[in-house]
Amino acid sequence: MLQDKGPDRLHIRERLEERERRTLCPQATLSVNTRGRMRPEPECSIRPAFQHDRDRILHCKAFRRLKHKTQVFLAPTGDHYRTRLTHTLEVSQIARTICRALALNEDLAEAISLGHDLGHTPFGHSGEAVLAEIYPGGFSHQQQSLRVVDVLERDGQGLNLTFEVRDGILKHSKGRGAIIVCDDAERPATLEGEVVRASDVIAYISHDIDDAIRGGVISATDVPAECVAVLGATHSRRLNSMVRDIIAETLEAGMKLGLSPEVHQAMLCLRDFLYQNVYENDRVKGDFIRARRVVADLFEHLLHTRAAAEAEASGIPRERFVCDYIAGMTDRYALDLYQRVFLPRPWFTT
């Protein structure tokens, strides 16, 4: 095995770092220039810092739970609907494609992409909205994602990621705000982080349309004609149009991330269409109204359990413990726990 041969003597990490210096553009974030980790630790002898972060995220428990967390449809049983995990993978691939074309650091973009939604609650933004209302101090999935990698993983030790990955995770979310961020307070510290932020929008406005058509919530002919004219009528054409445009505009602007006015407007139009016709659709929204009750009831119940009391005794505020616990649940775990706690069970005799 490589370890037995002494990988330190092979200088693999140093060779990969030198490759970054030779091949990446001046605006790229080099692994050797990281601002460091929360806690100093020996460097990996094989992997540069951002590749190491990517691997830590990929192997953590919170990442695996994404496969059973809602993207658009609550606990979908169909094989081809997106989940939070497949959304994350699509964001990652879009970001890597853009970064490769622009000669930016793909490892950094991939690490941010894979970690950006680790803090998402069960039932998507509906669960997030409930915790934001009932948890003292509020709740946002991007802040929870950072808490997952900083504190909750590895039994409270966290993943000890680099500043650049942590910054990108925290600043990836924009809701219905600007796709290309101008506010320095919201702008990620790296160009790779900005790419991930835009890739998140590119991914969901395309695949959520695809899933909504698959689910019969809308039909292909409902998509605004002006969006189809600019971006295309299919999932692959929409993706291709947006990715090609952001690459071309960024190169033309001297590596300042951008979109053409036509594509930018079409993306805003498509996002508004999704909110009005999919996310707020009565068929979709009805399930999430009921899901809000599940989260709220579980929060109140868990506040009074022995586990929460023990957490409080160890120095963790009870509300914080319960909030972390619920945010980490998958859809199916939350529904199963709710059934066990609140619904009557048949009486069996022998």
Question: Going from the N-terminus, what domains does the chain have, and what CATH number goes with each?
Answer: 7-281 (1.10.3210.10)
Over residues 226-236, the pLDDT tens digits come to: 999 999 999 99
Which pLDDT score, from 0 to 100, does residue 79 have?
Answer: 80
Over residues 84-142, the pLDDT tens digits come to: 999 999 999 999 999 999 999 999 999 999 999 999 999 988 899 999 999 998 999 99
Cα–Cα distance for residue pair 39/162, rounded to 1 Å: 9
Cα–Cα distance for residue pair 134/186, rounded to 1 Å: 25
Which pLDDT score, from 0 to 100, does residue 2 have?
Answer: 46
**Both tokens assigned to 49:** 């810092």
Q: List CB contacts of 294: < 8 A, sequence separation 6 or more.
A: 123, 334, 335, 338
Q: With pLDDT > 70 as the criterion, what percentage of the chain qualifies?
A: 95
User: What is the chain's alpha carbon radius of gyration, rounded to the nearest angstrom?
Assistant: 22
The arithmetic mean of pLDDT across residues 232-243, rounded, is 96
The arithmetic mean of pLDDT across residues 298-304, rounded, is 96
- CA-CA distances (angstroms) from residue 133 to 46, 126, 233? 45, 11, 38
Which pLDDT score, from 0 to 100, does residue 4 have?
Answer: 47
Which pLDDT score, from 0 to 100, does residue 122 have?
Answer: 94
Picking from 50-59, 253-262, 284-293, 320-329, which range would have the lowest pLDDT averaged per residue?
Answer: 284-293
Cα–Cα distance for residue pair 211/225, rounded to 1 Å: 19
Which pLDDT score, from 0 to 100, does residue 289 have?
Answer: 86
Q: With pLDDT > 90 as the criterion, what percentage of the chain qualifies?
A: 77
**pLDDT mean across residues, the chain:** 92
Q: What is the DSSP string of 204-227?
A: HHHHHHHHHHHTTSS-GGGS-HHH
Which pLDDT score, from 0 to 100, does residue 72 have?
Answer: 79
pTM over 0.85: yes
Cα–Cα distance for residue pair 178/113, rounded to 1 Å: 19
Q: Burial letters for 323-337: b for 16+ Cβ neighbours within 10 Å, e otherwise?
A: bbbbbbbbbeebbeb
| pLDDT higher than 80, residue 5 | no
Cα–Cα distance for residue pair 98/105, rounded to 1 Å: 10
Over residues 56-94, the pLDDT tens digits come to: 999 999 999 999 998 877 766 678 888 999 999 999 999
